[in-house]
C-alpha cells in the first residue's frame, strides 16, 4: 500500500474575508471525487498548476467529515495489529493544529481526540464481546522534537535535560529511550493528560523564546490487547509537524532574505527522503534527522496518512507551491501492511517510569 496523501484547504478566517483566494479543489472527471488542487503559477498568472492527491477536502469540510473519511476506517486495522501513522504537513497558519488537535467545542475537535474516543469505544466493545477474555489497555506518550532534540511532553519542562532523549532502533522500529508512558482509562483521562502536556509544550517554547509551531509534536497511542498469555500490541501515531515555510521569506511571501533564519532541517530531510523514495533510490537519508527516523516513511509496516494543510490565500503562494510539490510526490511511497506479531507474556517487570518492560517477542505457533 502507498502512503495516502490528502490535501485539506482551510476556510478564510474572519480577518481574511474578501482576500484573494488562489487555491481550488477540482476533480479529474465529472462525477469523480475531488483529487486535484489547482493554483496559478507565481510567474505567469495565466498558467495554472495542478497537483494530484488521493483526496482533496474543500474549505467547508468539517472536522467530523475529515475524520470519518480518512481516519475512522483505520481504527479497526489498529486493533488488528497494524500501526497507524497520521501526520499533518504544511505552512504555519494553514490548519495543522486545527486538524490534529482542533478546538474545545465538540464539533471542532480534531483527529486526535476523535481517534482516542474511537479507540476507547472499540476497546470496550472488544472486551465486552470476548466476555472479559480479552483486556484492552491504552497508554499514551507525547513528545516534541525541537532543533533535532526529543523532549517528553508528559514530564514538566523543568525536568528536561538540554540534550533531549536518545533514539534507538528496536525490532526494526525507532523508539525514544526513556520516554514516559501513561495509562489511559477513558477520554476524560486522556483529555486531562493532553491539556497538561500541551501546556508543557507552550511553557517550554516560551522559555526558549521560540514558537511551538517550530517543533514537531508526536502523540503515540499504544493499544495492548491481552487474551490469556497472548499479547498483541499496536500503535497509532498522530504528528503535528513544524511549519514547512521557507524562513528565508517573510510572511508576506516577498522574497526578502532573513539572515539568521535557516530552513527547518528536518523538514528539508523529509522532502529529500520523499524524493529519494519516489525516484526509487537505494539510499534514503532517513537517519539525517530525528523526525525522519521516527516517521520512517515507507519503512514502517502499517498505514500512513499524510494530510497536507493549505491556506487558499495569495499571501501563502510560494510556500503553498513548495508544500504541494513535496507532498504530491509522497503518494508513490510504498508501505508494507504487516500486522505486528503476537507476543507471549513474560512475567512483567515495572520500571521506574511506570511502564511495563519484559514483553519478549516470540514467533507465533
Ligand atoms: P498551523 O497549526 O498549521 O499553524 P492552525 O491550526 O493554528 O495552523 O490554524 C491557523 C488558524 O486557522 C487558526 O486560527 C485556526 O483555528 C484556523 N483554522 C484552521 N483550519 C480551520 C478550519 N478547517 N476551519 C476553521 N478554522 C480553521
Ligand atoms: Mg500549529
Give the C-alpha distances (Å, rounded to integers) separating 109 from 67, 117, 140, 256.
10, 11, 18, 37
Residue 244 near ligand 1, beta carbon < 6 Å: no
CB atoms under 10 Å from CB of 46, counted, come to 6
Residue 40: which of 17, 60, 24, 56 has the closest Cα? 24
User: What is the reported pLDDT for 102?
Assistant: 97
Residue 214 near ligand 1, beta carbon < 6 Å: no
Q: At what angle do helices 265-279 and 317-329 cross, to 10 degrees?
A: 40
Residue 94 near ligand 1, beta carbon < 6 Å: yes
ipTM above 0.95, yes or no: yes
Cell 502536556 belongs to which residue? 197
Ligand nearest to the CA of 102: 1
Q: How many whole angstroms separate alpha carbon 342 and alpha carbon 226?
A: 10
Alpha helices in the chain, H assignment, sequence order: 63-70, 73-79, 96-100, 111-129, 187-207, 265-279, 290-295, 317-329
User: What is the reported pLDDT for 206?
Assistant: 76
Give the C-alpha distances (Å, rounded to integers) separating 65 from 69, 148, 163.
6, 34, 41
Give the distance (Å) from ligand 2 centre to CA of residue 9: 15
Ligand 1 atom closest to the CA of 61, numbered from 1: 23
Angle 312-317-318 (CA atoms, 0-180°, nearest 5)?
A: 145
Q: Print pLDDT tens along the chain (365 aa).
A: 458 999 999 999 999 999 999 999 999 999 999 999 999 999 998 999 999 999 999 999 999 999 999 999 999 999 999 999 999 999 999 999 999 999 999 999 999 999 999 999 999 999 999 999 999 999 999 999 988 899 999 998 888 888 999 999 988 889 999 999 999 999 999 999 999 999 988 887 777 767 777 889 999 999 999 999 999 999 999 999 999 887 655 444 443 333 223 447 899 999 999 888 888 888 989 899 999 999 988 776 789 999 999 999 999 999 999 999 999 888 766 655 667 777 766 554 444 443 333 333 333 33
Give the distance (Å) from ligand 2 centre to CA of residue 89: 10
Give the C-alpha distances (Å, rounded to integers) separating 213 from 96, 158, 280.
10, 21, 32
**Which residue is closest in CA terms to ligand 1's atom 20?**
95
What secondary structure letter does DSSP report for 284?
A: -
Tell me which of 9, 10, 25 to substitute to probe ligand 1's pocket, judged by most ligand atoms within 8 Å of the beta carbon.
10
**Which residue is closest in CA terms to ligand 1's atom 23?**
10
User: What is the reported pLDDT for 265?
Assistant: 85
Q: Show the cell assigned to 313.
A: 490565500
Give the distance (Å) from ligand 1 centre to CA of residue 342: 40
Give the C-alpha distances (Å, rounded to integers) separating 7 from 24, 55, 108, 261, 312.
11, 6, 19, 27, 12
Q: At what angle do helices 111-129 and 63-70 cross, to 10 degrees?
A: 50
Q: Are 97 and 318 a contacting pair, CB within 8 Å?
A: no
* Total-model pTM: 0.89
Give the distance (Å) from ligand 2 centre to CA of residue 281: 32
Q: How many whole angstroms separate alpha carbon 313 and alpha carbon 16?
A: 9
Residue 213 near ligand 1, beta carbon < 6 Å: yes
CB atoms under 10 Å from CB of 358, counted, come to 11
User: What is the reported pLDDT for 319?
Assistant: 93
CA within 13 Å, CB half, 325? 13
Ligand nearest to the CA of 14: 1
Residue 10 near ligand 1, beta carbon < 6 Å: yes
Ligand 1 atom closest to the CA of 100, numbered from 1: 6
User: What is the reported pLDDT for 332?
Assistant: 67
Residue ranges for the known binding site are 90-97
Q: Is 127 helix (H, G, I), strand (E, B) or coil?
A: helix
**Which residue is closest in CA terms to ligand 1's atom 19?**
95
Amino acid at each position: 500500500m502507498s502512503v495516502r496523501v490528502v490535501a485539506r484547504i482551510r476556510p478564510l478566517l474572519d480577518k481574511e474575508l474578501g482576500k484573494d483566494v488562489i487555491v481550488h479543489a477540482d476533480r479529474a472527471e465529472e462525477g469523480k471525487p475531488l483529487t486535484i488542487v489547482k493554483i496559478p503559477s507565481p510567474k505567469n498568472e495565466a498558467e495554472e498548476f495542478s497537483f494530484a492527491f488521493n483526496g482533496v477536502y474543500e474549505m467547508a469540510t468539517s472536522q467530523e467529515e475529515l475524520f470519518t473519511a480518512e481516519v475512522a476506517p483505520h481504527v479497526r486495522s489498529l486493533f488488528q495489529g497494524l500501526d497507524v501513522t497520521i501526520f499533518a504537513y504544511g505552512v504555519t497558519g494553514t490548519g495543522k493544529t486545527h486538524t490534529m488537535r482542533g478546538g474545545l467545542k465538540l464539533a471542532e475537535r480534531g483527529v486526535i481526540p476523535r481517534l482516542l474516543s474511537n479507540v476507547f469505544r472499540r476497546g470496550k466493545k472488544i472486551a465486552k464481546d470476548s466476555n472479559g477474555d480479552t483486556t484492552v489497555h491504552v497508554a499514551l506518550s507525547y513528545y516534541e522534537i525541537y532543533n533535532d532534540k526529543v523532549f517528553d511532553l508528559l514530564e514538566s519542562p523543568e525536568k528536561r535535560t538540554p540534550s533531549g532523549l536518545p533514539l534507538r532502533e528496536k525490532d526494526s522500529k525507532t523508539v525514544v529511550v526513556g520516554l514516559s508512558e501513561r495509562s489511559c482509562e477513558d477520554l476524560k483521562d486522556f483529555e486531562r493528560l493532553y491539556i497538561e502536556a500541551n501546556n508543557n509544550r507552550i511553557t517550554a517554547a516560551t522559555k526558549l523564546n521560540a514558537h511551538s509551531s517550530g517543533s514537531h509534536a508526536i502523540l503515540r497511542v499504544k493499544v495492548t490487547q491481552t487474551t490469556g498469555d497472548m499479547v498483541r500490541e499496536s500503535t497509532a501515531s498522530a504528528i503535528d509537524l513544524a511549519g514547512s515555510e521557507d524562513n528565508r521569506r517573510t510572511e508576506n511571501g516577498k522574497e526578502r532574505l532573513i539572515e539568521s533564519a535557516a530552513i527547518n532541517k528536518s523538514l528539508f530531510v523529509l522532502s529529500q527522503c520523499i524524493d529519494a523514495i519516489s525516484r526509487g533510490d537505494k539510499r534514503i537519508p532517513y537517519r539525517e534527522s530525528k523526525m525522519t527516523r521516527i516517521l520512517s516513511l515507507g519503512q514502517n509496516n502499517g498505514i500512513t496518512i499524510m494530510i497536507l494543510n493549505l491556506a487558499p490565500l495569495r499571501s501563502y503562494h510560494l510556500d503553498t507551491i513548495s508544500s504541494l510539490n513535496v507532498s504530491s510526490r509522497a503518494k508513490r511511497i510504498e508501505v508494507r501492511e504487516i500486522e505486528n506479531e503476537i507476543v507471549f507474556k513474560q512475567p512483567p517487570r515495572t520500571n521506574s517510569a511506570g511502564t511495563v518492560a519484559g514483553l519478549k517477542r516470540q514467533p507465533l505457533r
